Structure 1
Amino acid sequence: MRRDFALTGIFVILVIYVLYFGREFFMPVILAFLFALTLTPIVRFAGKRGIPAPLSATLLVAASALVLTIGGYLLSGPIMQLVDDAPQIGRELTERMRELRSPLDRLLAISRQIDEAADTTNDQGVLKVAVQQPGILSQAAGNMLSAGTTIAIVFVLSLFLLASGTLFYEKIVQSFTTMTEKKRALRVVYDVEREVSRYLLTVAIINGGLGVVVCVGLWALGMPTPLLWGAMAALLNFLPYVGALMTILVVAVISIVTFDSLSYALMAPSFVILCNIIESQIVTPLVVGRRLELNAVAILIAVAFWSWLWGFVGALIAVPLLVVIKVFCDHFEGLQQIGNFLSAQQVLNQDD
């Protein structure tokens, strides 16, 4: 028993090690599988209407790439402007919130004096060495090249996955010997794919709708660059709890420095809060259903783990991966306890 436990622990550590140091390979592959699963219901629907899978897959991937390119082009200007205006936004926010900072000014002054005294002491006997870092432009160029390569791999691999049709299912079935095992494996694979693909597509549509509503609402309130905040709301909504909070905070900061009246400035973040409450408490449970609701603790653990492993991209795909794991575990008796733990509601035993 102890030996099996130790071997399992070693195996888990090795998997984490491989995923961490091999993220440049595994990240686009997993993103491609998730993206292909998201578009699979559309390809299947088109196939029932007589449209071949390679044609519908090519059109979907090309349309997705076009939307991403146009969206990136439209958002590049507001993002760069926001980065350039960040110091000015910080100063204006400090001025607007000065009355709230007055009780802390004395503590900040004391802390500043302590830091200055420590710096003076260090200057007397310590030689400071400054390591020259790569330039900002070179870092940005490297990041853009890496992101472009990852996106290209995701789209190309997704295209092949969608265009292959039932090839992977045929390979899985061929790996079993008896007809009973073949039927059971095929049923499990189809069930997992159907549930996961429907969930991913539905959540993507809901998040896109949330982004549109936020964009239109903030535009009506007079917020600058509402397209940027709508895109942020849609993207960060894949990150439960934390994503909505980040959107609310950013919108609140921009609103406070934009409008003169504090009461009117609070309308924009209040509207975003209202939209997120309606989406999370009414729309998503009604459309997705209760079966795929996840344990909040499991969600936070998954987001923390994948964000540590793969950064921001890992945080975004943490919940979709958790749904894949849950659905997979629900279809195997030996793994149903794990699926029960990941579920938001405890599954009662039929014998009770």
Structure 2
Amino acid sequence: MPGERQLPNGHEGTPAPDSKAELPPVIRRTEVVAICLVGLLLICIITGLYLAQAFFLPITMAFIVGTMLSPAASFLERYRIPRAVAAVLIVAAVSAGAVFMVGLIASPVMEWSNKLPELGSILKDKMHVFDRPLALWQQLQSMLGGPDTLTTFHLPKVDWVQPTLEFLSPTFAEFLLFIATLILFIASWRDLRRALIMNFGERTSRLRTLRILNEIEEHLGGYLLMVATINVGVGIATGLICALTGMPNPASLGALATILNFIPIIGPVAMFAVLVVVGLVAFPTISAGLLAPAMFAAMTFLEGHFLTPMIVGRRLAVNALAVFLALAFWTWLWGPMGAFLSSPLLIVALIVKEHLMPVDSPQLPED
């Protein structure tokens, strides 16, 4: 037709395709299915770990602690000590240290538990100093239209003691499973490493697995040594603070601080609460009772923000948010033992992630 524009090769003009319609979807259907399957797999794994806690917790604890103690077994092997004998000696030494620490704590705990009614009345009398602030708060609530009831201080009932001890202490079967698995794991760790590495057919996969295992053993062994040294120092400093301020049973409080400091975030907070309660009961005035907790808080602040980062260094440094989320998750899943395992498990996960998913993309420039 006249006036119609012809394209080369005799083809008539066609409208330009809609570019928006031809763009691929941001997330394809197969990717959505894969994400859903991975989510369902994670839910099944978490459910299994929660329901079978009596089995998986001792096994996981033995694997993590055994990996931490494997360098010590290798050190004893250099002096011609069989690895099985070295495993028994290491576990016996660690158990003896744990029993010694628990023994320091058990005696004053039993003594104080027999005086709970008397100590409760003393603590309640000390809390009368807060009656005036509570009355002012009640007046403020009534002015704002809140319920016209006076808030009073009530001591918690003693019924929580036995359930708490049952929750914190594992059963005999779990403890026996942990000890047996720990000894066998340390004794056979070298054979397990070799079998795991040789399970892969390609040389590249074997080398990657070897690097992962070496780095996990190195990092967990260094983590245990550094953290144990720091926590023992914290316990000694806490005992000295309690002795200088006149707190009762300073050695027991120092041992308790050492044990609780293995649990990040929660441990120091719990130790501060224990010192507050002991100080309020042991001293006639509130200011004297809060002196030791204040000094402990200052000491743990310096340890957590300056000493530990300087000693641990960048190689074992982990993001604080990641540590907190891992602590919350494993504490919810497995209780206090899960809180102890949260940081080592996070270190293992980060090492595996770095080797399996290396970051090859260019980094952003610094600000």
**Is this a same-fold pair by TM over 0.5?**
yes
The 8 Å contact of residues 196 and 327 in structure 1, kept in 2 or not, is answered as no
| Partner of residue 321, structure 1 | 345
Say if 2:311 is the partner of 1:287: yes
Q: 5 Å matches for 1:42-191?
A: 42-105=72-135, 107=138, 110-111=148-149, 146-191=170-215
Q: TM-score, normalised by structure 1?
A: 0.81
Residues 228-258 of structure 1 show CA distances to partners (whole Å, capped at 9, x for unaligned) of: 3222212222222232122112102211221
| TM-score normalised per structure 2 | 0.77
Stretches of structure 1 that go unaligned for 5 or more consecutive residues are 114-134, 338-346
Question: Which residue is equivalent to 2:332?
Answer: 308
Q: Partners in 2 of 1:54 and 1:105 — Cα distance?
A: 66
| Number of positions where the alignment pairs a residue of Structure 1 with one of Structure 2 | 321
Between stretches 322-331 and 3-12, larger displacement belongs to 322-331
Q: Deviation at 1:138? A: 9.2
Question: Hey, what's the Cα distance between the residues in 2 that align with 1:153 and 1:84?
Answer: 33
Structure 1 match to 2:50: 20
Distance (Å, rounded) in 2 between the aligned partners of 1:256 and 1:145: 28
Alignment pair present for 1:349 and 2:363 = yes
Higher helix share: 1
Q: Does 1:214 align with 2:214?
A: no
Q: CA deviation at 1:110?
A: 4.5
Cα–Cα, structure 1 residues 211 and 199, in superposed 2: closer, same or farther, change >3 Å?
same
- Secondary structure (helix, strand or coil) at the match of 2:171 reads helix
Contact 1:39 1:201 in 2 (8 A): no
**Equivalent position SS for 2:247:** coil
- Aligned-pair CA distance for 1:298: 1.9
Contact 1:255 1:268 in 2 (8 A): yes
1:266 aligns with 2:290: yes
Contact 1:41–1:198 (CA<8 Å) still a contact in 2? no
1:59 to partner: Cα distance: 0.9
2:65 is equivalent to residue 35 of structure 1: yes
Does structure 2 retain, via aligned residues, the 8 Å contact 1:35–1:158? yes
Distance (Å, rounded) in 1 between the aligned partners of 2:196 and 2:171: 32
Deviates most, 65-74 or 319-328: 65-74
Deviations 1:264-316 (A, max 9, x none): 32221122123212321232112211232222222222222112111222222
Gaps of 5+ in 2: 1-30, 140-146, 152-158
Per-residue CA distance 1:303-345 (angstroms, 9 max, x = gap): 22112111222222222211221222122225x69xxxxxxxx
Amino acid in structure 2 at the alignment position of 1:293: A
Matched residue of 1:238: which SS? coil
1:332 pairs with 2:356: yes
Runs of 4+ in 1 over 6 A off after TM superposition: 135-145
Change (3 A) 1:280 1:310: same
